[in-house]
Structure 1
Amino acid sequence: MCSAPVDLSFKCIGSLEDALTEEPSAGLRPLKRDATKKYVSRSLRLSNNIISDLSHLHAIINHFLAEPSRLAWVDLSFNDISNIDPVLCELHELRILYLHGNNLCSLMEVDRLGVLPSLHTVTLHGNSIENVRGYRSHVISVLPHLKMMDFSAVTPTERDIAQILQHRHNRKKAAQRGIN
């Protein structure tokens, strides 16, 4: 991920469709383009906007990136996102996801990210879910490949606690299925 990110931060984007008309900000490193004029990058910044709906994220990724399937880093921090849209779960190469400073209220939303096999870094602080008891352990248990969470390394002790919680959760689900 040494190429510069496509930076659409601080653009007052409310709808992802609006981003299609924006020009990415110039950073310290110039953005490279391919023959089709799409950006050769695996990173996308959409932070510090007013985005609440991610349903058109694929359109943005396909519009700006030369290799959309290789997207590895997305910064959606400081927006108005209240749920994990299924479109995020389709980004199978995603390694880093910044969602801090949004409106996520339910830990169940984070569970959806468990389908992303390469996700190793996530930020969720600044959402009301961080006030839920067991927040960090829950996230680590449903995202077993995490190395970093909220800009802090996941420790072996935290991973052990998360595995215990996951085991309890699985037993509880199995017992509920037996009752039903």
Structure 2
Amino acid sequence: MFGSPVDFSFRELNTVSDMLSDEPNPGARPLKRNSEQKILSTTLRLNNNFLSDLTGLMDTLSVLYADPMRLAWLDLSFNEFQHIHPVLTQLKELRLLYLHGNRICKLSEVDKLAVLPFLHTITLHGNPIVTEPDYRTHVISTLPHVKMIDFSAVTKQERELTSVWQRSRNPRKSMSHSKVD
């Protein structure tokens, strides 16, 4: 990854477009910019704000970032999200996604992230979904590349148990794989 993180945490943002009328928090290192003054970074911190949706995210990123599609780390923790916004599926380079401390209630929301091939770290603790039965198993099943969930490594044993869990939930599919034509 290149460049310092772009940090809009604790800025009382209500919408992502509010970033356009604000300056990021100063970091240990100054932000690198290209000749058009667009930020050279693959990280965005929007934690501890009042965001409830991500409408306008791609437009806002396009104004701020030199290459918004290379965003690899997005921190949306401690906001007001009840749903995982579909715009996240456009960020194909996303590797780390922090969603802890929000209001996500349905495990099916995680399913939207299955199209992100490089997503290896996700946090969801502090959301109502963590109380759902099979929460962690569902996340592992839905996001097969995930290596860390809620700052805890996914173990080989968990992957094996998830495989068994998947087969038990869809016995027809596992039977069709065992048949020889």
- Give the TM-score normalised by structure 1: 0.92
- In structure 1, how many angstroms separate the alpha carbons of the residues matched to 2:23 and 2:172? 50
* Superimposed CA distance per residue, residues 18-74 of structure 1 (whole angstroms, 9 cap, x where no aligned partner): 221111111112110110101100001100000001121112211211111111110
Identity of aligned residues (%): 53
CA contact (8 A) 1:142 1:166 kept: no
Q: For residue 157 of structure 2, what is the aligned residue in structure 1? A: 157
Q: For residue 95 of structure 2, what is the aligned residue in structure 1? A: 95
**Where do 1:1-180 residues align within 5 Å?**
1-171=1-171
Instruction: Give ranges in structure 1 of 5+ residues lacking alignment.
Output: 176-180
SS in 1 for 2:52: coil
Q: Which runs of 4+ in 1 moved over 4 A?
A: 172-175
Q: CA deviation at 1:170?
A: 3.8
- Give the TM-score normalised by structure 2: 0.92
RMSD of aligned C-alpha atoms? 1.6
CA contact (8 A) 2:2 2:40 kept: no
How many residue pairs get aligned? The number is: 175
CA contact (8 A) 1:103 1:128 kept: yes
SS in 2 for 1:97: strand
Instruction: Give ranges in structure 2 of 5+ residues lacking alignment.
Output: 176-181
Between 11-20 and 88-97, report the one with greater CA deviation.
11-20
